[in-house]
Structure 1
């Protein structure tokens, strides 16, 4: 299992050597012990202290190795929202990143406010618009393809893989209806983060009060872009600061996301398009995020798809 690989002394020694080599090229020096704050089946993160502040190393499992190339592209298109990498090994999918600040989860709790989500959601829309013409390049990097035409087949495969209960299987027609409805709006495919929660957004300090950076693109797919709102609106914002379901009106946050799209698609009823996108987004999240042996998490997402609650 990858968790064991990430903590294997031999693997860590190789990673440390690579980090030190990159730091040398950057004119930086490691100044203390490396910490490993994140170890998961799919990735690990190392915190490396240097004479210019902490930097962070990330490695992904094979299926997510493309994140390094994806972040490189996004940073080139929208450098103020996806910080450029300090170093990258695209072959191994290794990244070295500057400190992005605190997570939105931490900052929102301290400020007792969800206000920063407005800027974050607008940033996500601008990122998607900036790479609208890069869909083929993203797919060539290995980003999963969940464009509307292929979603029904992907959903059907998942049903067989998890031996799904009947009500999820009979929702096949609903998936097809949602895909057809969303396609009718003519919204172009783009990158879709697919796990946009408040620990994936970072707040970078600044004289203007800071800006929000969108990080952790390992789960991203090419899809109908509005599906990114499933997790953000229903999975996070609607629960508010006190974790109470449906305690927050998500419409203003939806509109903050849609504002950049309005200039791209004048005359389209974008708010109406969000409704089927949020439902379908959970089905895509179930397909895209399914890990063998973790059926419970997948079923939770399928319940969100059909019921709007886990």
Structure 2
């Protein structure tokens, strides 16, 4: 079995090798390090480090292999939507290393998040989506996954994968859950057809759009933490915002939805289109969690692995609401 990602990036050997790469990357852009590379956070899918330089604090991010595209993709997004995504200080695409200048606290860290803040965030995301609608080939060339295709086939694969795990595995679907999901396959295929007939195109999706993954810049916002990105129906960018807002009785969802639709110049989705998006999104979000199952320690599986079946069971939740 391969060494879990978090153990690999926590080793002194990995840190020393990465510090060497980071110092080289800094020299190539004319920046001088004034301190050592320091580890800030480790997760089963990514690690963040910082280094002080004569240009300020620099963040270094390394993702596990399925998300290693983020570094190159941020370059592409910064080129096509320069006001919405920070341009990297340096990128080592071969190793998936991303260096960025510290941008200060996120929106979530700066105070109360209001409905108006959410309107700004989804409007910014819609602007990025619209800016990139013709850039599919360039984005997929970074390694970002295309989840606008084969949704029903990937659904079958995910059910088989999670149902086939050992009984003690935290991500395992039991027999009843797997049977119910297989019976819902027609609903997944129908949802794909509904979205294909909708006015909403396939587009770039942030994948985890919320106030902790954006920071204010002038009158707008810049988005970061882009490793959950994927090419999928444009509506899918709203799934995470909806669920965050739905938990807060002091926030209003309808103005946020209207702002996103207005930014696209399209009508708001019908109930059928919204339900179809939630079914497809449940499949696509499960892919993100399934990709990391094989890189976790036992303790990490205990903490995080349940997200994979929980997301896939969203197919049933949204199907049964019809």
TM-score normalised by length of structure 1: 0.86
- After superposition, residues 26-175 of structure 1 pair within 5 angstroms as 26-107=29-110, 110-111=111-112, 113-147=114-148, 149-163=149-163, 164=173, 165=177, 166-175=179-188
If asked which structure has higher relative contact order (CA below 8 Å, sep 6+), I would say 2
Secondary structure (helix, strand or coil) at the match of 1:15 reads helix
- Separation in 2 of the partners of 1:274 and 1:260? 17
- The answer to whether the 8 Å contact 1:59/1:93 transfers is yes
Worse overlay, 111-120 or 249-258: 111-120
Secondary structure (helix, strand or coil) at the match of 1:191 reads strand
- Separation in 1 of the partners of 2:86 and 2:262? 23
- Cα offset, 1:111, TM superposition: 3.1
The aligned residue for residue 258 of structure 1 is 261
Secondary structure (helix, strand or coil) at the match of 1:46 reads strand
- The answer to whether the 8 Å contact 2:35/2:53 transfers is yes
- Separation in 2 of the partners of 1:105 and 1:169? 39
- Cα offset, 1:269, TM superposition: 5.1
- After superposition, residues 2-21 of structure 1 pair within 5 angstroms as 2-21=5-24
**Count of matched residue positions in the alignment of Structure 1 and Structure 2:** 291
- Separation in 2 of the partners of 1:37 and 1:288? 23
Deviations 1:82-133 (CA, angstroms, capped at 9, x unpaired)? 11111111111111111122122212xx235343221111111111111111
- Separation in 1 of the partners of 2:259 and 2:276? 18
- Separation in 1 of the partners of 2:160 and 2:18? 38
Alignment counterpart, residue 207 of structure 2, candidates 194, 213, 222:
194
Alignment counterpart, residue 239 of structure 1, candidates 233, 247, 259:
247
- Separation in 2 of the partners of 1:27 and 1:141? 25
- What runs of 5+ residues in structure 2 fail to find an aligned partner? 164-172, 295-300
Deviations 1:49-96 (CA, angstroms, capped at 9, x unpaired)? 223321111111222221112111111000111111111111111111
State the superposition RMSD in angstroms: 2.1
- What runs of 5+ residues in structure 1 fail to find an aligned partner? 241-245
- The answer to whether the 8 Å contact 1:229/1:278 transfers is no
Alignment counterpart, residue 299 of structure 1, candidates 309, 312, 316:
309
- Separation in 2 of the partners of 1:143 and 1:27? 29
- Separation in 2 of the partners of 1:196 and 1:303? 21
Which 4+ residue blocks in structure 1 deviate beyond 4 angstroms?
Answer: none
- Separation in 1 of the partners of 2:126 and 2:145? 19
- The answer to whether the 8 Å contact 1:71/1:85 transfers is yes
- The answer to whether the 8 Å contact 2:70/2:227 transfers is yes
Seen in structure 2, the aligned counterparts of structure 1 residues 282 and 197 have a Cα distance that, compared at 3 Å, is farther
1:214 equivalent in alignment to 2:223: yes
Secondary structure (helix, strand or coil) at the match of 1:145 reads coil
- The answer to whether the 8 Å contact 2:286/2:311 transfers is yes
Secondary structure (helix, strand or coil) at the match of 1:155 reads helix
- Separation in 2 of the partners of 1:68 and 1:232? 24
